[in-house]
Amino acid sequence: MILILLGPPGAGKGSQAKLIVDEFKVNHISTGDIFRKNIKEETDLGLKVKDIIAKGELVSDELTNELVFETLSKENTPAGFMLDGYPRNINQAKALDKWLEENNKEVTEVILVDADVNVLIERISGRRVCKNCGATYHVKNLPPKVEGICDVCGNELVQRPDDNEETARDRIEVYNEQTSPLIDYYEKSGRLARFDGNEDIDVVYEHVRNSLK
Ligand code: AP5
Ligand code: MG
Ligand code: ZN
């Protein structure tokens, strides 16, 4: 199974990804998570992308494609893999199609999770992530048992540097301009499945899992 998770920032791609991985055992490949790990570890890549990500702009296609294809070339999870946050523009989608063709692979389904702008802003502003294990919470929708502390590992919860309202609005604009044309791109090839991300996490997932069975 090869899945692509598409949707604006805050729609719930990461939240759905976790549930999909638990049930379908695919490998979750999130370009955003890989970039953030590199930033945390202060690698060369991390230093190059840190300011771009903090501003909510897109990392260059060259760097991103190289990172993805390097990751995919090592990928051998029996159940397959799921790309989250990639591709993010037509150029990246074409590069991915070329890579898949060369490697005799095909996308099973493109999962589009969308939500209203006010919902996106509220979710992004309220998101908290564990500094240590990356578990994701929301101050209202999915609060931890103890405020500011991760339920899973007991470490501190923090806000992503790009999770303030101003940067969230910029990220949504980038999505509308550069990423949303992918909806048409994948719809034309008959691989797109749309889901209403305004609903509760479990409700959205129930629809997603049914589409995958
Ligand atoms: P990335 O990490 O991909 O971020 P994003 O696309 O902005 O999406 P988010 O992770 O913010 O949201 P999400 O949809 O995963 O929502 P989540 O499930 O966490 O990218 C970050 C940056 O990296 C980019 O801006 C760019 O700079 C760079 N980058 C990454 N990929 C790139 C690429 N391919 N090319 C170039 N640059 C790239 O949910 C959000 C919150 O809402 C959580 O608190 C959650 O608990 C809550 N929530 C989720 N779903 C629900 C629900 N249904 N009901 C109630 N609450 C919910
Ligand atoms: Mg995410
Ligand atoms: Zn944790």
Does the residue 181 lie in any domain? yes
Give 130's DSSP letter: E
- Catalytic, 25? Answer no
Does the residue 99 lie in any domain? yes
Instruction: Write out the residue range of the structural domain in which residue 13 sits.
Output: 2-26+77-115+173-212
Amino acid in position 16: Q
pLDDT in tens, 2-51: 999 999 999 999 999 999 999 999 999 999 999 999 999 999 999 999 99
Does the residue 32 lie in any domain? no
pLDDT in tens, 74-98: 999 999 999 999 999 999 999 999 9
- CATH number for the domain that contains residue 186: 3.40.50.300
pLDDT class for 206, splitting at 50, 70, 90?
A: very high
Does the residue 125 lie in any domain? no
Does the residue 20 lie in any domain? yes
Q: Give the pLDDT of residue 184.
A: 97
Which strands form 192-196's sheet, in the order they lie side by side? 27-30, 81-84, 2-6, 109-114, 192-196
Q: Which residue is catalytic, options 37, 50, 160, 194? A: 160
The whole-model pTM stands at 0.96
Please state the domain count of the chain.
1
Ligand 2 being an ion, which residues bring their Cβ within 5 A of it?
A: 13-14
Beta strands in 119-182 (DSSP E): 127-130, 136-138, 157-158
Which residues' Cβ are closer than 6 Å to ligand 1? Answer: 7, 9-15, 31-32, 35, 52-53, 56-59, 64, 85-86, 88, 92, 123-124, 126-127, 136, 138, 141-142, 162, 171, 197, 199-201, 204
